[in-house]
């Protein structure tokens, strides 16, 4: 499994779905599935959003939910989905 990557070290590609950890939020801390977006793409997803041009945002699967640079401290690639077991492998 992948390890958490600090946003200070590296950022994922734009529009890549990843897991993000919001370490700067007050407890409880949350992990979201989100995608980092640049200014232009953020405006396409949500025209009412007001963020500076040199800023990026994190959109969760619920595209109305927006996380900011200040909230997200770490990210990691999505894990591979589970492999499907064959029915005869389930009974032993």
State the pLDDT at residue 18.
93
pTM of the predicted protein model: 0.68
State pLDDT tens for residues 40-74. Answer: 655 666 666 666 655 667 777 765 566 766 678 89
Domain boundaries, the chain: 5-79
Three-state SS letters, the chain: CCCCEECCCCCCCCCCEEEEECCCCCCCCCEEEEEEECHHHHHHHCCCCCCCCCCCEEEECCCCCEECCCCCCEEEECCCCCCCCCHHHHCC
């Amino acid at each position: 499994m992948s390890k958490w990557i600090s946003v200070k070290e590296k950022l994922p590609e734009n529009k890549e779905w990843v897991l993000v950890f919001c370490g700067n939020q007050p407890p409880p801390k949350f992990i979201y599935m989100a995608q980092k977006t640049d200014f232009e793409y953020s405006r396409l997803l949500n025209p009412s959003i007001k963020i500076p041009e040199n800023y990026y945002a994190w959109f969760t699967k619920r595209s109305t939910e927006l996380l900011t640079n200040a909230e997200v401290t770490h990210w990691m690639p999505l894990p591979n989905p589970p492999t499907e077991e064959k029915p005869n492998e389930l009974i032993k």
